[in-house]
Structure formats: structure tokens, C-alpha cells
Amino acid sequence: MSLDIWMRENPLTYIWLGSYAVAFLIFAVEVAMVRHKRKITLQQVRLLCNAGDDE
Amino acid sequence: MKKSSLLDLLVLVIRRDLVLAMRRRADVLTTLIFFVMVVSLFPLGVGPEMAMLRKMAAGVLWVAALLSSMLSLGRLFSADYLDGTLEQMMLAPQSLSMLVLGKMVAHWMVSGLPLVLMAPVLGLQFDMSVEALGVLILGLLLGSPVLSMIGAIGAALTLGLRGGGVLLSLLVLPLTIPVLIFGTGAVEAISSGLDITSHLSFLGALLLLALVFTPWVTAQALRISME
Amino acid sequence: MAINWFKYSAPTTFYGLAGKLIPWFGVSAAILAAIALYIGFYVAPTDAIQGEFYRIIFIHVPASILSMFLYLIMAGYAALGLIFKTRLSSMMATAIAPTGALFAFISLWTGALWGKPMWGAWWMWDARLTSELILLFLYLGFIALHASIDDPRRADRAAALLAIVGSVNVPIIYFSVKWWNTLHQGSTIKFSGTSMHVAMQQAMFTMLVACWLYAIAVALMRVRSIILERERNTTWISELPEVKL
């Protein structure tokens, strides 16, 4: 298996790409999702408030 | 005096649920048929080599029992919930935990016990030895009530929800893993000629714990779901 | 300086406090993570047996510890919400759950990546990894149950009960999995036997704190969105600058 050989010859790259990069990617995606959720929640609340004001 | 009236209540609820279950025999039978089918799928999937099947037997039977219990649990409260009886039960002055325990016992008698009785027949298909079959039945006798009881908590929490049976399984299956481990562990032990008392005692301990805590927890879950 | 803690147990005041705290937690998390990585990769020596591959533990172990810790915190908040009927506690529990689940996932992923060079297989039914998998299922169950119930109050309370039942079960599950593992003479992902070099411990501990601070920051961010959603019909929300635009 070429993956095994590559892994043994490039241990640090394997660790960086495989674990740390993945972990930080997950963190980045999580933060992005939370920010997105905030954005659309704010939009909905604004709509609600404006609808209330218009009455 | 109070003690006997609690017991009377228990017997009353068990009787009622059993009568209701007997009127819908199809439900009971479908769970059993599901159990048999799942068990039969494994050899079809992994091949008929007897040595391997013998090794897998306990695990396959236990997992199938787990899955069949999960399927049947949806019925524990749904019928009473739909026709309003559950609400009446909750308003009644009697102990809700007792009522729930009664329902759990009846449910086990109708869903769990048949599985236990069916298991040895299926075990023979996997060429299990007589001692292994004995330990399997003993383990299932101790463990299947625990599955019903833990499952009841899940059934109470998911009452009336869209997700239904699948959600219930997702919630309950992780919690039943200890029962699975010790039930299959006991069969493995007897096959290797080792002592089984520790496994069975652990199952017994789980059963006692479940008997003491799950009716109350389930009652709380029902209150949460019914508000 | 006497802080009236109870002032912040109301969503109205907590919202503002959380907003101010998030940048502090976020930035400290990033700085500590950078320090941890530096120590872990440049200061800590190569392991005698595992070579460079052991450096995965600097993220694997903190992720595992945090996933378990966060579950207990989540269950604690949920219990508070159930017993004292404080809305904010239940909101915090809901906010923590996804972060905890992601840490459990990272723990499993990095565990697998560590296992491949060590054992030759991507997965090992090691007691800790198996327990971590079950923990992930418990998290997912909590999130699924909460998401399946429309009424927020019922959702909070049902999920809280599930979390409490889960926490009580976790020791039983861990014990039985450990026992199962030894029965089947499974492998244990252990260290090289000798005690860890100081730098390795430092890196791991620093990363643990970094992850913890990160988790707090993300949970606070999430709870703010939850507060916005739940309290959307109140006047104080409509008075907020970000809503008024």
C-alpha cells in the first residue's frame, strides 16, 4: 500500500495534514456555522420586529 | 394495607396490558418474526461456515434481541397516549411509577419473554452447545427486562414525536451496551470453560438497578412529555 | 468587588456579558494553541519507540478529555435547568452539545490516525476509543432528541433527562467496555511505557487549556444565537443595536 510507505517517509506531513489540519478545519467550520446561525437569526428577529412596528 | 394495594395496582395494570396485547396478537408476532429474520440474515451475510457461526452466535442473538426490543417499545405508551388513557393514569392519585412498572412487566412478558423462549431454537441453528444455550437463556432472562425498562425511558421521552422508533433506538441503544457485553461475555466464558458467576451477577445487579430506578425516571419522562 | 452573579443568570444580562467575553476567550485559545504546537513540535523530543507519530496526542488527548468534560458540564447545566427551571441553564446545555460532539469526533479521528502507524489498522476496538464512540452516540442522541421536539420547554426538559440518564450510565458503560476489552485481549493504545518527557506534558496541557477556552468561546457564541431566537418576542431584543441596525 503506497499510503503506508508515504506515511512512514513523511510522518510529520501525515500528522499535520491528517490530524491537525482536520481538527483546525473542524474548528473553522464550527465557528463559521455559528456565525451563520447568528446572521440568519438576526435577520429573522429583524423581520419580526419590523413586522410588529408596521402594524 | 398500603403495600397490598400497590401490589393490587401492579397486577391490575399488568392484567390490563396483557389483555390489550392479546387482542392485537399480530403486534406480538411481528416482533418475534423480526427477531427470527434478523438472526437468519447473519449466516446469509457471512457464510455458512459453522466454526465462525458458532463464535458469532451469542453476539448475533443478543444484538437481534436488542433490535427487536427497540422495535416493540414504541407500542408501550402510544396506544394509551392516543386514546387519552395515559392522561387519566397521570391524573390518578395512585403512584405513576407503579403504573409504569406494571406496563413494563406486561410489555416484557409479551415482547421479551417470547424472544427468550425462541432463542434456544435459533441458537441450535448456530450449533451452540447445550451449556452455551443455557447461559444464553439465563442471560437473556436477566437482561431482556433491563432492555424493556431502559427502553421505556426512551419511549416516554419520544412520545408522539415524528422521529418515532428510529429516534428511540438512537437514544436507547448506547445505554443497553453493558447488558449486551455481559450477556455475550457469559456465553463466551462458558464456551471457554471459565466462571460465569461474575457476568450473571453483573446482569442481576443491572436488573435490580433498573427495577429500582427506571419506573420513577420513566414516570418523570412521561410528565415531561405530557405537559 | 462584589459581583452579583445572579444578575447574569437572566438571558437579558448574560447576552451582553457573553458578547464581551467571547473575543477574550477566542484570542487566548488561539495564542495558547500556537504555544502548545510550538512546544509539541519543536521542543519535545522524538519518542524512542513511536518516532514522530506520537505527536498526534497533543490534539488527541485534549480532545478526548474535553469531550468527556463537556458532557458532564452539559448534563450539569441541563440538570440545573430541569430542577431550578432556569431557562439560561437549558440554553447553555443545548449550546455546549455540538461542540462536545465535535471534540468526540476529533478524538476518534485522531485516535484512528494514531492507530494506523502504530497498529497498522485505522480502527482498534480499544476500550478508550470504543467508549469515546459511545460518548459520541450519547451526544448525538441528545442533539437529535432536542431537535425532534418542537416545544422548546419540552425539548429542554426531555433532553435534560436523557443527559442525566446518560451521565449515570457513562461509568457503567466505561467499566463494561474496559472489561470487554480485557476479556478479548484487545490492545490498549498506550504510551512508550516510560513516563512522558516534561515538554510533552507541557504541550498537552497547554493544548488542553486552549481547547477548553475555545469551547467556552464557541458555546457563548452559540448561546447568544439561542437567546436571540427564544426571546425574539421581547422588547429588550428589539432594542438591541444589532437588531435595530
pLDDT in tens, B153-174: 999 999 989 877 899 999 999 9
Q: Name the band, by pLDDT with cuts 50, 70 and 90, for residue A8.
A: confident
**Angle in degrees, CA B127, B129, B132, rounded to 5:** 115
Q: Is C65 exposed, middle or buried (0-12, 13-18, 19+ CB in 10 A)?
A: middle
Q: At residue C193, does pLDDT exceed 50?
A: no
- Residue B101: name the closest of B5, B1, B213, B206 by CA: B213
Q: How far apart are CA B172 and CA B67, in angstroms?
A: 10
- Chain C positions in Cβ-Cβ contact with residue A35 (cut-off 8 Å): 221
- On the question of pLDDT at C9 being above 50, the answer is yes
* β-sheet bridge partners, residue C47: C51
Considering CB atoms only, which of C137, C140, C177 is closest to B181?
C177
Q: Retrieve residue B150's grid coordinates.
A: 431502559
Distance separating alpha carbons of residues B217 and C168, to the nearest angstrom? 12
Q: Is C188 on the interface with B (CB under 8 A)?
A: no
DSSP letters, chain B, are -HHHHHHHHHHHHHHHHHHHHHHTHHHHHHHHHHHHHHHHHHHHHH---HHHHHHHHHHHHHHHHHHHHHHHHTHHHHHHHHTTHHHHHHHSSS-HHHHHHHHHHHHIIIIIHHHHHHHHHHHHHTT--HHHHHHHHHHHHHHHHHHHHHHHHHHHHTTT-SSHHHHHHHHHGGGGHHHHHHHHHHHHHHHTT---HHHHHHHHHHHHHHHHHHHHHHHHHHHHHH-
Domain extent, residue A11, equals 2-54
The SS3 assignment for C68 reads helix
Give the mean pLDDT of C25-35: 95
Mean of all residue pLDDT scores within chain B: 91
Which residue do the cell numbers 431537535 mark?
Answer: C147
Among A1-10, B24-33, B96-105, C159-168, whose mean pLDDT is lowest?
A1-10
Which residues form the domain of B190? 2-226
Rounded mean pLDDT, B50-79: 92
Q: What is the pLDDT of residues A16-44, one digit of tens each?
A: 888 899 999 999 999 999 999 999 999 99
C1 class by beta-carbon count within 10 Å (0-12 exposed, 13-18 middle, 19+ buried): exposed
Residue A5 distance to chain C (closest CA, Å):
10
C148 interfaces chain B, CB cutoff of 8 Å: yes
How many Cβ atoms are within 10 Å of B152's Cβ, its own excluded? 28
Q: Considering only CB atoms, which chain A residues are within 8 Å of C109? A: 19, 22-23
CA of B6 vs chain C CAs: smallest distance (Å): 26
Chain-wide mean pLDDT for chain C? 87
pLDDT of residue A18: 82
Q: Which has the higher per-residue pLDDT, C129 or C210?
A: C210
ipTM for the whole complex: 0.90
Degrees, nearest 5: CA angle C183-B182-C61: 60
Between the CA of residue B14 and those of B11, B17, B23, B29, what are the distances in Å?
5, 5, 14, 19
- The C-alpha atoms of residue B227 and residue A51 are separated, in whole angstroms, by 31
Instruction: Say if C178 is an interface residue toward chain B (CB within 8 Å).
Output: no
Angle between helices C127-148 and C152-183 in degrees, nearest 10: 160
Please count the structural domains in chain A: 1
Residues B117-134 have a mean pLDDT of 92
Out of A27, A45, A48, name the one closest to residue C214 (CB): A27
Q: What pLDDT, on a 0 to 100 scale, did the predictor assign at position C126? A: 76
Amino acid (one-letter) located at B70: M
Question: Is pLDDT at C2 greater than 60 in this prediction?
Answer: no
Of C99, C109, C228, the CB nearest to A45: C228
Instruction: Sort out which chain C residues have CB atoms less than 8 A from A6's CB and list them.
Output: none
Report the alpha-carbon distance of residue B81 to residue B160 in Å, rounded.
8
Of A30, A41, A48, the CB nearest to C102: A30
Residue C91 near chain A (CB below 8 Å): no
For residue A12, the chain C residue with the least C-alpha distance is C52
C106 touches chain A (CB under 8 A): yes
- Does chain B reach chain C with at least 3 CB pairs under 8 Å? yes
Report for B42-46, C121-125, C153-157: range of highest mean pLDDT: C153-157
Q: Nearest CB to A11: which of C52, C224, C229?
A: C52
Residues of C in contact with A45 (CB under 8 A): 228-229, 232, 237-238, 243
Q: Residue A18 phi/psi, 5° resolution? A: -70, -45
Q: Which residues of C touch A26 (CB under 8 A)?
A: 102, 105-106
Nearest CA in chain A to C222: A34
User: Distance from first CA to last CA of chain C, Å, rounded?
Assistant: 35
pTM for the full model? 0.91
pLDDT over 80 at C191, yes or no: no
Quick check: C6 pLDDT over 70? no
For residues C215 and C66, the answer to whether their CB atoms sit within 8 Å is yes
Q: Which amino acid is at C130?
A: T
Residue C169 touches partner B, C-beta closer than 8 Å: yes
pLDDT band at C186 (very low <50, low <70, confident <90, very high): low
C42 exposure class (CB count in 10 Å sphere: 0-12, 13-18, 19+): exposed
Q: Decide if B149 contacts B76 (C-beta within 8 A).
A: no
Distances (CA, A) of C51 to A9, C48, C106, C126, C192: 12, 6, 22, 21, 10
* C-alpha span between B164 and C183 (Å, rounded): 36
A5 touches chain C (CB under 8 A): no
For chain C, give the percent of residues with pLDDT over 90: 56
Q: What is the pLDDT of residue C1?
A: 44
| B178 to C166: CB separation less than 8 angstroms, yes or no | no
- Backbone torsion region of residue B87, taken as left when φ is above 0, otherwise alpha when ψ lies between -120 and 50, otherwise beta: alpha
Q: For chain B, how many structural domains are there in total?
A: 1
